[in-house]
Amino acid sequence: MQAEHPRNGEGQGEIDRVIDRNIEALVDRRRQEIANTSLEEKVADAITAFAGSMRFVYLHLVLYGGWIVINLGWVPGIPKFDPTFVILAMVASVEAIFISTFVLVSQNRMGALADQRADLDLQISLLSEHEITRLLTLVSEIARRMEVPQAKDPELQDLAKDVGPTQVLDHLQATERKLDEG
């Protein structure tokens, strides 16, 4: 039998409280981002969401299908209004231009948000790396004073050195160039 997970109550562990705090912060941030979205961006997002739905597909099947069936002369009593389908092609082209523009507006906004989140991830990773480096330094010093034989391990000494993000990026670019050339 599985124990029930307490929520914001007694018996909740520190990890659970940290997880809840982080989730609440993310939800608050998303709400804030939505609140700060301009009317134009909200309209573009709504149109993009609709254009990416099956309702959009069904609507177009009915509209374009009806247009084609009527202009092929298959519906008695309804005259052809676009027998060469030039108007249909123009309508479809204009619609495609506008939909692609709305999609690009939405993607640009989502890209900017993704960049912000990537920057946050990078900052957290850099802080974590710095903290781990400091912990390794501290633990290595404790081990050295306690005369633990592994304290002089060269790999631990290398890991205890601070590594700047520009060093990592430079090394990454150099390695990519070597792989591209070779």
Cα distance between residue 24 and residue 134, in whole Å: 30
Cα distance between residue 124 and residue 121, in whole Å: 5
* pLDDT in the model for residue 1: 43
Residue matched to tokens 């912000």: 116
Domains in the chain, number: 1
Cα distance between residue 30 and residue 5, in whole Å: 25
Considering the domain boundaries, does residue 62 fall inside one? yes
Considering the domain boundaries, does residue 137 fall inside one? yes
Give the largest CA-CA distance in the chain: 100
Residue 58 has pLDDT above 90, yes or no: yes
Considering the domain boundaries, does residue 20 fall inside one? no
Considering the domain boundaries, does residue 7 fall inside one? no
Residue 5 has pLDDT above 70, yes or no: no
Question: pTM of whole model > 0.75?
Answer: no
Mean pLDDT of 122-147: 87
- With vertex at residue 16, the alpha carbon angle to CA 14 and CA 22, rounded to the nearest 5 degrees, is 105
Considering the domain boundaries, does residue 23 fall inside one? no
- With vertex at residue 114, the alpha carbon angle to CA 165 and CA 39, rounded to the nearest 5 degrees, is 145
Cβ 40 vs Cβ 50: under 8 Å: no
* pLDDT in the model for residue 126: 87
Q: Which residue has the higher pLDDT, 1 or 172?
A: 172
Note down the domain range covering 79. 38-166
Considering the domain boundaries, does residue 179 fall inside one? no
Considering the domain boundaries, does residue 67 fall inside one? yes
- Where residue 167 falls among pLDDT bands split at 50, 70, 90? confident
* pLDDT in the model for residue 10: 54
Considering the domain boundaries, does residue 11 fall inside one? no
Cβ 44 vs Cβ 102: under 8 Å: yes
